[in-house]
Structure 1
Amino acid sequence: MDHKPLLTRVLIPLGILIFASVIAATLVISRPSATIRDSEEKSWIVSVVPAKPAAISPQITIYGKVESPFMTRLTAAIGADVEDVAIREGEHVQKGQKLIQLADSDYQLQLKQRNAELAEIKAQIRSELDRHKSDEQALEHEKTLLDLARKELDRARSLHRDNLSTQSHIDEAEQIVVKQQLAVNIRALSVNDHGARLAQLKARATKAEALRDLAALDVKRSSIKAPFTGKVTSVRVSPGDRTKVGDILVELYDHSTLEIRAQIPTQYENTLQQALASDTAITGFALLSQQTITVTLDRISGKIIQGSGGLDGLFRINDANKQLQVGRTLELRLSLPSISNAIALPREAIYGSDRIYRLAEERMSALSVERVGEMQMEDGNNYVIVKSSDIKAGDNIITTQLPNAIDGLLVKVAENTQ
């Protein structure tokens, strides 16, 4: 058996492998050594603004809804058919303007009846006064006749004593005296009873006047008029409808009493209440269709509405604006009382809600601040108002938001902010 080819097949690959290993080892040994360099700390480019503590009136933004304390529902005071509806929803109306006319024919007839009853009683009063005057005159005549009858009786008795007259003559004279005395008594009673009769008639007249006025009021109530200048929000009836007493006819509100109800953030409640107590005006503004509406805090609600997070402020609208409607939501910017040693910073300077960074020896130094409000600068940008006893005038406050901001981070101020 020939072992030479087998030996050749084994030795040649083995030799190649050994040669490759020697070459690889030589390359590894002869490679140049790497130069070890110290890593440099990276600095981050930031912008800064100098701190300028001053007395600043911070602003807060709240959201409110337009409402009116005079939201009126005009109801039917009488039962009648609707004759005419002179207004539509959304229309502006003036005080005293007729809105709806109810049929008043039944009430006009009733008014005529009441006027007739009153006229009748007044005629009875005039008749009673004339009667009383006549009774007083008649009483004097009756008394005169009574005196004459008594004198005639005395003469009859005197003649009877002288036997010049009969007893029947005396009896007749006595009868005349009794009758005349009765006539005087009846007439005197009539005169004395005048006051009671007149009082009764006057009481009936007063009652008749009240019924007449009530009938006239019903006629007047048939014409539904605007109690104030305002805007109609709802019309509930149409011509031909039959109304009952208490049915709602029209809803409207007084445009001159519009105000804005807005929930006050809890942290500002004491500030605003103290301002109201000291008669310090809290003013603000809202934008509506590119128009500025100025408002003033008028009062704070006396209760917390269920489901709300705090007290509501009621703001008086200083500008008459017919574009405002009840229910519209507005964004209000209020100016709070001035705060001393406050600093206005761009929003970018604020990290979280109460942290800023000051530049100290080219590194970021964290500071905790009290956020007291906001304000809008002349350039239209909103700034955050903060307070901190650790900030001195001239301190450079970093206004660049860095995602890796940390106390002690190396930074470099951009050239355009130095």
Structure 2
Amino acid sequence: MLKKIIIPVVILAIALGAYRMMNAPKENSYGGRPATPVSAPSPESSEPKAKPGADARKTDAAQAAPGEAKAKAPAPSRGRGFRGAGQLGKQGATSVEIVPALADKTLAQLDLFGVIQAQHHTRLSATSNARVLALDVSEGQTVELGQGLLSLSADSAQEALTQRRSAQQELAARIRNETLKHDNDQASLTIDRELLRIAKNSVDRFTSLNSQQLTSGSDYEAALRAYQTQLMSVQNRQLTLAQYTDQMAQMLAQRDALASQIRLAKQVVADLQVTAPFAGLVAKVSVTQGQELRSGDVLVELYDPASLALFVRVPLRYRLDQLNATQISAVDSQGYAWQVEALRPINESGAQRLTLVPSGVNPVAFLPGSHVALTISYPIAEPAVEVPVTAVYDQQRVYLFADGVINAADIEILGRTQRGYLVRSPDFNDSASVVTTRLKTPVSGMAVAIVTSKDGARP
């Protein structure tokens, strides 16, 4: 079957190639088309002979109008090149547009982007190793003060609380025992002192009898040893009473430390039931049910929708910090009005930070972290000239037109508008004109031609 298809196709291709070779023009030995034979000029004339048909037409024309002069040949070019070269030479100067440098603008506008952030927000974290027992809320849910958010389970926290309570009870028993012992020592000291007095009298008596040789030396020595033993007992009792104050101070300090530890342990146990510290909205739930947690892991993020504010960074060149907050107005892309609550210069980052809150009862239809397009309007200190962005070079100069040339003029940008910049310069006057056409490589003294000024008038 394949041969039946291929063979006719091959035959058809061969036939087509043969047909093209038969109808192709003959080539010379160099591979090109044969040149058309041209008659050689005669020695008497340097002009080539005209074709027979042409001679016949000329003869007929001469017979039809014998008195008509022959048409003149077009004059050769005299170095002007192509037609219109002289006209283009006159238009060689760059065409630009200009606007008058009239200082009549006193209100500036800035198109900026801000970020929505909550000024009252919190991030709740696990206070100990635990496990998520139950989730009671979801992201985006509104909660009230004290409402349960999630429940945790931590056996170690309860055990730690039990151990600290046991230690507290043991210490309380020691304090009571030390108090009883102290009271007993005080009573015993009175008895010991009385016994010491008796022992001292016995020694004195035996000393007197011994001097009169009315008693033996062994009786005297026994009385003396009894006296010294009782004296040591009194001294030990006094030492114990003196140490009681320091021992009691140590035990009371231990009691206070245990009380603090018990409070913390109770708080850890209480934190196993996570509740809302204020009424707000759940921004993010960072855990799942059954998840094992470590101390410090983030559980839930909560914020107060009423505390949402818009934070905007403004370049320092626009000195908004010199204005009162009431002089600045702002409208976002949705048409909501905002008012400036605070303005903080941030010199290290080269920007000022505006804090704006909704004006009036306008709702905030954004979530924290949203970017908002904002138009800020504010007055400038003195009237300025409004020029388009194309007229300003390197944020520091424009070009003025005068007598067919342009010259650079240093400027200070006072603000922006929807159409360009508000600038001032010592070179501006009532007759000055600013070039608004963007030039690729402008230089002072460059010749230009004015096409149409912005107000539509011809120069």
TM-score bracket for the superposition, by shorter chain length: 0.5 to 0.7
Tell me which residue corresponds to 2:11.
none
1:87-102 matched pairs, under 5 angstroms? 87-92=137-142, 98-102=148-152
**Residue 331 of structure 1: which of 373, 376, 384 is its match?**
373
Distance 2:211 2:451 in 1: 154
**Residue 294 of structure 1: which of 339, 357, 361 is its match?**
339
1:277-313 Cα offsets, whole Å, 9 max, x none, are x46547341325332223464333623xxxxxxx444
Further displaced range: 221-230 or 129-138: 221-230
Q: Structure 1 residues 341 and 189, CA, compared in 2 at 3 Å: closer, same or farther?
A: closer
Indicate the percent of aligned positions where both proteins have the same amino acid. Answer: 24
1:8-52 Cα offsets, whole Å, 9 max, x none, are xxxx99997556436988xxxxxxxxxxxxxxxxxxxxxxx9997
Query: 1:225 Cα deviation (Å)?
Result: 4.8
Q: Structure 1 residues 313 and 280, CA, compared in 2 at 3 Å: closer, same or farther?
A: same
Asked if residue 319 in structure 1 is aligned to residue 319 in structure 2, the reply is: no
Q: State the one-letter code of the partner of 2:317.
A: N
Query: 1:243 Cα deviation (Å)?
Result: 0.9
Kept in 1: contact 2:317–2:413 (CA 8 A) = no
Asked if residue 108 in structure 1 is aligned to residue 121 in structure 2, the reply is: no
Kept in 1: contact 2:128–2:157 (CA 8 A) = no
1:301-330 Cα offsets, whole Å, 9 max, x none, are 623xxxxxxx44422013275423233222
**Residue 241 of structure 2: which of 184, 188, 191 is its match?**
191
Tell me which residue corresponds to 2:83.
none
Kept in 1: contact 2:114–2:310 (CA 8 A) = no
Distance 1:195 1:207 in 2: 18
Asked if residue 285 in structure 1 is aligned to residue 285 in structure 2, the reply is: no
**1:58 counterpart SS class:** strand
Asked if residue 130 in structure 1 is aligned to residue 160 in structure 2, the reply is: no
Asked if residue 243 in structure 1 is aligned to residue 293 in structure 2, the reply is: yes
What runs of 5+ residues in structure 1 fail to find an aligned partner?
A: 1-11, 26-48, 304-310, 359-363, 400-405
Distance 2:294 2:173 in 1: 37
Query: 1:104 Cα deviation (Å)?
Result: 4.5
Further displaced range: 55-64 or 292-301: 292-301
Distance 1:171 1:371 in 2: 113
Distance 2:267 2:249 in 1: 27
What runs of 5+ residues in structure 2 fail to find an aligned partner?
A: 1-55, 70-98, 437-447
Distance 1:271 1:338 in 2: 9
Distance 1:79 1:13 in 2: 116
Q: State the one-letter code of the partner of 1:292.
A: A
Query: 1:114 Cα deviation (Å)?
Result: 0.9
Kept in 2: contact 1:97–1:226 (CA 8 A) = yes
Distance 1:410 1:193 in 2: 106
Q: Structure 1 residues 167 and 324, CA, compared in 2 at 3 Å: closer, same or farther?
A: same
Distance 1:339 1:20 in 2: 90
1:109-145 Cα offsets, whole Å, 9 max, x none, are 4213312311321332233233223212221121112
Distance 1:152 1:76 in 2: 75
**Residue 200 of structure 1: which of 237, 250, 254 is its match?**
250
**Residue 147 of structure 1: which of 181, 191, 197 is its match?**
197
Tell me which residue corresponds to 1:41.
none
Kept in 2: contact 1:366–1:407 (CA 8 A) = no
Distance 1:312 1:410 in 2: 39
Tell me which residue corresponds to 2:27.
none
Q: State the one-letter code of the partner of 1:260.
A: F
Asked if residue 21 in structure 1 is aligned to residue 65 in structure 2, the reply is: yes
Tell me which residue corresponds to 2:36.
none
Query: 1:206 Cα deviation (Å)?
Result: 3.9
Aligned residues: CA RMSD: 5.2
Distance 1:13 1:162 in 2: 195
Kept in 2: contact 1:96–1:226 (CA 8 A) = yes
Asked if residue 260 in structure 1 is aligned to residue 304 in structure 2, the reply is: no
Q: Structure 1 residues 65 and 172, CA, compared in 2 at 3 Å: closer, same or farther?
A: closer
1:260-409 matched pairs, under 5 angstroms? 260-262=311-313, 264=315, 269-272=316-319, 275-276=320-321, 278=322, 280-281=324-325, 283-295=328-340, 297-300=343-346, 302-303=348-349, 311-319=350-358, 321-343=363-385, 372=413, 385=422, 387=424
Tell me which residue corresponds to 1:37.
none
Q: State the one-letter code of the partner of 2:181.
A: R
Q: State the one-letter code of the partner of 1:239.
A: Q
Distance 1:151 1:244 in 2: 75
Further displaced range: 208-217 or 248-257: 248-257
After TM superposition, the score normalised by the length of structure 2 is 0.58
After TM superposition, the score normalised by the length of structure 1 is 0.63
Query: 1:56 Cα deviation (Å)?
Result: 0.5
Kept in 2: contact 1:262–1:314 (CA 8 A) = yes
Kept in 1: contact 2:412–2:424 (CA 8 A) = yes
Kept in 2: contact 1:89–1:235 (CA 8 A) = yes
**1:338 counterpart SS class:** strand
Q: Structure 1 residues 137 and 389, CA, compared in 2 at 3 Å: closer, same or farther?
A: closer
Kept in 2: contact 1:365–1:408 (CA 8 A) = no
Kept in 2: contact 1:57–1:339 (CA 8 A) = no
Tell me which residue corresponds to 2:132.
82
Further displaced range: 78-87 or 160-169: 160-169
Kept in 1: contact 2:310–2:357 (CA 8 A) = no
Q: Structure 1 residues 293 and 143, CA, compared in 2 at 3 Å: closer, same or farther?
A: same
**1:193 counterpart SS class:** helix
Q: How many residues align?
A: 360
Q: Structure 1 residues 352 and 144, CA, compared in 2 at 3 Å: closer, same or farther?
A: closer
Q: Structure 1 residues 316 and 115, CA, compared in 2 at 3 Å: closer, same or farther?
A: same
Distance 2:348 2:270 in 1: 39
Q: Structure 1 residues 262 and 293, CA, compared in 2 at 3 Å: closer, same or farther?
A: same
Kept in 2: contact 1:56–1:338 (CA 8 A) = yes
Distance 2:64 2:371 in 1: 85
1:389-413 Cα offsets, whole Å, 9 max, x none, are 787779999x9xxxxxx856689x9
